[in-house]
Copies of this chain bind each other. A is one copy, B any other.
Amino acid sequence: MDRLVAKLRTIAELPRAAEQALLGLPFRLKKFDENADLVRQGDRPMECGLLVEGFACRYKLVGDGQRQILSFHISGDIPDLQSLHLPVMDHSLMALTPTTMAFIPHTAVDQVVRAYPEVAAAFWRDTLIDAAVFREWLTGVGRRTAHQRIAHLLCEVFVRMRSLGLVDGESFELPVTQAEVGDALGLSNVHVNRVLQELRHSGLVSWKGRYVAIGDWERLKTVGDFDAGYLHLKPALAA
């Protein structure tokens, strides 16, 4: 649960008592293999899943079987928090790496939320930030070129990782395949590969295996038309 508190601290201030209540939440740990579904579209979860360890993503499938990845998630996120108020899942969640989740009963979350309006506000704020990120992705997929989209995604992940203290120098872990990037940005894996090569050759980024390093942050931001405002980070973390 300390991961959860750490995450919420990046977006809101919580009174000590509320943090204690969160730390006391009951949960059930469960491990998942890479590529396993954590929750499926159509499910009616009775618990919220806190991502403790690993990387995950939300996704939807369309009629002809293509996949759209909707968001990436890391330690501290509760990607299905919405199930508290939207009983049936409208998308699925899957593990991008081996993952461990802490499932917290809805009833327990509900109690904390009722007892501490600040927690309710923080959770609500968290889901609102989710929505803000969807809007940004939507404008990217709708109106930006492949180059811009890829640069933008790298900027976003970099800033989010940095706000959680997960960046080492200029580089951070991103255990995502090029095909997955394509599914997130509405591109083919082939095109992602080609654009990535150009970004590398212009020295904007390097990406080897699971690790991305930013080569030229200012230029990458420019190329990606990136402005971190939509992430609604606390000012201290946005720099």
How many monomers of this chain does the complex have?
A: 2
A144 within 8 A of B: yes
Tell me whether B68 and A143 are in contact (CB under 8 A): yes
A129 within 8 A of B: yes
Residues of B within 8 A of A217 (CB): none
Give a binary string over A89-108; 1 marks a CB under 8 Å from any B CB, 0 the rest.
Answer: 01100000000000000000
Q: In the bound complex, how far is the Cα of B206 from the Cα of A190, in angstroms? A: 39
> What distance in Å separates the Cβ of A45 from its nearest Cβ neighbour in chain B?
14
Residues of B within 8 A of A7 (CB): none
Residues of B within 8 A of A91 (CB): 135
Closest to A134 in B: B134
Number of A residues near B (Cβ < 8 Å) is 45
A32 within 8 A of B: no
Q: In the bound complex, how far is the Cα of B114 from the Cα of A120, in angstroms? A: 10
A229 within 8 A of B: yes
A131 within 8 A of B: yes
Most buried by B among A68, A82, A128, A186: A128
Q: In the bound complex, how far is the Cα of B125 from the Cα of A131, in angstroms? A: 12
List A residues 166-200 near B (Cβ within 8 Å).
183, 185-186
A139 within 8 A of B: yes
Closest to A139 in B: B68
Give a binary string over A117-136; 1 marks a CB under 8 Å from any B CB, 0 the rest.
Answer: 10011001101111110111
Known: A63-B225, A141-B141, A143-B68. A131 touches B134 (CB 8 A): yes
Picked from B58, B67, B90, the residue with its CB within 8 Å of the CB of A230 is B90
Q: In the bound complex, how far is the Cα of B137 from the Cα of A137, in angstroms? A: 10
A6 within 8 A of B: no
A86-B125, A127-B128 known; 5 new pairs, CB 8 Å cut-off, are A62-B225, A82-B132, A85-B125, A85-B128, A86-B132
